[in-house]
Amino acid sequence: MASKRLVVDVHTHLYLPRYASLLRERTTLPKIITRTRDDGRKDERLVILKDEPSGGRPIGPSYVERDEKLTFMKNHGIDISIVSTANPWLDFLQPKEAHRLSLQLSDDLEEYCSTGPTVTGTSMQLYGFGLLPIVSGISTESLLEAVRQISASSHLKGLIMGTRGVGKGLDDEALDPIWAAISEAGLTVFLHPHYGISEESWGEKNNGHVLPLALGFPMETTIATTRLILSGVFDRFPSLRLLLAHSGGALPQLSSRLASCIDHDPIVASRLKHDARFYLGKLYLDAVCYGPEELGFVSDIIARSNRYETSSKNVASGGRSSGSGRMLFGTDHPFFPPLSSSERWKSVVENLDAIENVQGWTEADKNGVKGGNAISLFNL
């Protein structure tokens, strides 16, 4: 694909019909429930988090229907979407069912992406992140089979993963064969939160979902990624490609503090080949943070990792290059819909405007974040 001006959405979710059917059958979280409204009409609600406001989020066709995704893309000038199953993936299933469903859902997703647009007059394209059956008790062979299947699916460019691993988090050595297989296959891991952090932190006031979504989700990503760094995963698998949701949460802001804490801890310090800030430059981050100042800050932090581009720690050298090359536009569709009906979603417009208005970004930087970086990363 020649053009660098294409807009690519790397953070956009769906529930495939097979997955939505499963949620409809369930009586415990996660589930889809049907409510009868006062006027007698039925509406479906998605209940995936504890204490969902209003008993669940309205879940319409935008979560499931491909034409809805394409219409959304058309309304926002998006040329390519790399779609992924939304949380909580297969986390709640037993290993056997998770394994079976992961293979079926990756097949479903390949078909969803490969059967072409049906919105006339457009040339939009769909790619996907497949799913691993990454649940407690699953065998390594089942996980490797899922990686092989994703790798063999021409429209699947990586996989989406939560933070629990096979029960002990992502810094569990049991996952080493999986990181090896993913790296070897050239797939990208899209790391996405679901659990947040302990709800005791949120106090007793009713703040709806604001605290878990605005702070809990990004902190979960921050902690999971930091644990990966501390476990030496990026030293053992230097070609592992990790794309972090929500611009990496608080990790960019905390990276120098992290480096300092490591320096003062001989056990961890001796485990790692590089200063902690080096590893930030190995990451990819979505540009879903809603403000130009935040985007600019994150890209400066990523660019700074160049200074730690040496095997010896504490060496500050090397020039400045733009960290924007590791940032990729996302919408989070179908989450955060406008509160009143509107073709263009405020949440999406804010993220596009943020890219346009980062101080110091060139047109090339902006075009890269809007689409060029994704085209290179995913070889689209």
Give the nearer residue to ligand 5CU in terms of CB position, either 170 or 288: 288
Q: Does 377 bind ligand 5CU (CB under 6 A)?
A: no
Between 82 and 181, whose beta carbon lies closer to ligand 5CU? 82
SS3 string, the chain, reads CCCCCCCEEEEEEECCHHHHHHHHHCCCCCEEEEEECCCCCEEEEEECCCCCHHHCEECCHHHCCHHHHHHHHHHCCCCEEEEEECCCCCCCCCHHHHHHHHHHHHHHHHHHHHCCCCCCCCCCEEEEEEECCCCCCCCHHHHHHHHHHHHCCCCEEEEEECCCCCCCCCCCHHHHHHHHHHHHHCCEEEECCCCCCCHHHHCCCCCCCHHHHHHHHHHHHHHHHHHHHHCCHHHHCCCCEEEEHHHHCCHHHHHHHHHHHHHCCHHHHHHCCCCHHHHHCCCEEECCCCCHHHHHHHHHHHHHHHHHCCCCCCCCCCCCCCHHHHEECCCCECCCCCCCCCCCCHHHHHHHHHHHCCCCCCHHHHHHHHHHHHHHHCCC
Q: Which is nearer to ligand 5CU, 83 or 276 (CB)?
A: 83
Q: Which of 6, 10, 16, 48 binds ligand 5CU (CB under 6 A)?
A: 48
* Total interface residues for ligand 5CU by CB under 6 A: 9
332 binds ligand 5CU (CB under 6 A): yes
Site track 156-195 with ligand 5CU (rule: CB under 6 A), x = hit: ----------------------------------------
- Which residues, 194 to 213, sit near ligand 5CU by CB under 6 A? 213
Residue nearest to ligand 5CU (CB): 335
Residue (62 or 256) nearer to ligand 5CU, CB: 62
Q: Which is nearer to ligand 5CU, 90 or 258 (CB)?
A: 90
Minimum distance from residue 86 beta carbon to ligand 5CU (Å): 5
Question: How near is the Cβ of 100 to ligand 5CU at its closest, in Å?
Answer: 24
Q: Which of 86, 170, 189, 285 binds ligand 5CU (CB under 6 A)?
A: 86
Residues forming contacts to ligand 5CU in the complex (CB under 6 A) are: 13, 48, 86-87, 213, 217, 245, 332, 335
